Structure 1
């Protein structure tokens, strides 16, 4: 029986796919057991080196990135979801884009980033990372909503740097306050005739103007909200004695109904089994 010959190109693709989808280290290609496996499957195959594997994956990443950018370029509206976490004292952020195919109306998703943050995930660090990722994929003006959990860092990031208009494009209270503050400053300057206040230039340059980042409108995750309601808010509500009595009474009745239903099913099941056994014995 003749064995099927696999080309070197397909072998390299299979190795790259194995490393990426299996989250394997680049050093796996240096293991003798891995080399023996490839040689047993295809004796004439050449095992790529670790630097070649790294460069091949980097090149494949660039190609895939170009395809994602080209696909999203044809889309008018995009939604994103993002999350941040800490593992082994390192902070990470992940961003995923979602859109509808304009022709087939199929749902499409693409992971845009899963990268390490240089500092802890404070609101300004998150805002800078999100702004860079959106700009990198050229979708800053296409994102209509970004969904996150209810972490205070995300909430503050979108409150400070996010879009501040409502659905009717009306100016929000935050913008009105800032505008009125600017008018008050102008009036104060007009009243202070001839007075000059000197200020250090360094403090002015280091002070952020609040417009260095451009984030879309914020959407809080409904599942996380429900989880908070069922855990944190429920514990706070139980501090009220009246609510606590009503809650315990209601849950005890529900538990009694559940137990009754479970016992009823078990009894009926045992009766059916006994009836079947008796019938089989007489037959």
Structure 2
């Protein structure tokens, strides 16, 4: 992804000029970074309004969430998934990509805000799927709905994630942070209201991604298990070496 300032670079403008000179039917003109930004913002708002209109008429929705980071910034991405009632096909859409700082409680607040902004209340949202990251798992465990289960002795128990260690996410520090906030990023609290009251977030039933769990078993747990036995470790190494030699 390139910055908006690319459209003002001489090399880029020369590329556009060359296209115009070779194709007389082409009708293009140079745009400034500000104009491009306005077009993107306008299209973003239109797409989000259209998506809200679609989800308003959907009975059940499942969302997925993931957290990833670059060298100085961290983001929360959320997607929505539903079944079209007319064609019975699976539909998916990205509903948020927000930069944030904080731990599991801040993730829970953001997820709650994003769900509500698209009308995804407890009646419509059936579950939220995440990987096995500790912050996401703890956010859903602390603020999500617990599923009642019957144990072998007939007693009622609740399905929940195991307690995870709290992994602190460092806040973003930069010289020009405001210019890098995504379009749907939430505004910061005023400096004179640093302790503004926030309602307790409420999340849906949490489901861990099966693919990510299997990947962890195959890549991490399986290797750890093999290393516990010298015989297994030796056989495993020998097998891998023979496969690689083929």
Q: Relative contact order, CA 8 A, sep 6+: which one is greater?
A: 2
Q: Distance in 1 between matches of 2:48 and 2:108?
A: 22
**Residue of structure 1 equivalent to 2:128:** 146
Structure-1 separation of matches of 2:30 and 2:156: 62
Aligned to 1:74: 57
* Structure with greater helix share of residues: 1
1:37–1:238 distance in 2 versus 1, CA, 3 Å: closer
Q: What 5-or-longer segments of structure 1 have no aligned partner?
A: 1-22, 175-205, 263-283
Q: Is 2:35 aligned against 1:57?
A: no
Matched, 1:27 2:5: yes
- Aligned counterparts of 1:251 and 1:126: Cα–Cα separation in 2: 41
The Cα of 1:236 is off from its aligned counterpart by: 3.8
Give me the whole-angstrom Cα distance separating, in 2, the residues matched to 1:98 and 1:153.
22
**What is the Cα-based RMSD across aligned positions, in Å?**
3.2
> Tell me, which stretches of 5 or more residues in structure 2 are unaligned?
22-26, 160-194
Q: Which residue of 1 aligns with 2:30?
A: 47
**Which of 1 and 2 has greater Rg?**
1
Cα distance, 1:140 vs structure 2? 2.9
**Counterpart among 77, 94, 101 of residue 84 in structure 2:** 101
TM-score, normalisation: structure 1? 0.61
Name 1:273's counterpart in structure 2.
none
Contact 1:164 1:171 in 2 (8 A): no
Contact in 1 for aligned 2:227/2:233 (Cα 8 Å): no
The reply on whether 1:165 has 2:153 as its aligned counterpart is no
The CA deviation at 1:30 is 1.2
Q: Does the 8 Å contact 1:165/1:171 carry over to 2?
A: no
Alignment coverage as a number of residue pairs: 201
Contact 1:150 1:225 in 2 (8 A): yes
Matching residue of 1:231: 219
The answer (yes or no) to whether the contact 2:226–2:233 under 8 Å persists in 1 is: no
Deviations 1:117-168 (A, max 9, x none): 0x24x11011011111111111133221211111221121111100123379
Deviations 1:245-265 (A, max 9, x none): 3x34764786698589x5xxx
Q: Is the contact between residue 127 and residue 161 of structure 1 (CA under 8 Å) also seen in structure 2?
A: yes
**TM superposition shift of 1:239:** 5.6
Residue in 1 that maps onto 2:206: 218
Residue correspondence of structure 1 range 176-195 to structure 2 within 5 A: none
The 5 Å alignment of 1:79-90 reads: 79-90=62-73
Question: When the two structures are superposed, what TM-score results if normalisation uses the length of structure 2?
Answer: 0.69
**Alpha-carbon separation, structure 2, partners of 1:59 and 1:219:** 35
> Residues 257, 140 of structure 1: CA spacing in aligned structure 2 closer, same or farther, 3 A cutoff?
same
**1:1-12 paired onto structure 2 within 5 Å:** none
Checking the alignment, whether the CA contact within 8 Å between 2:148 and 2:158 is kept in structure 1 is no
Q: Tell me if the contact between 2:130 and 2:208 (Cα under 8 Å) persists in the aligned partners.
A: yes
Q: SS state of the match for residue 166, structure 1? A: strand
Quickly say closer, same or farther: Cα 1:85–1:256, change in 2 above 3 A: closer
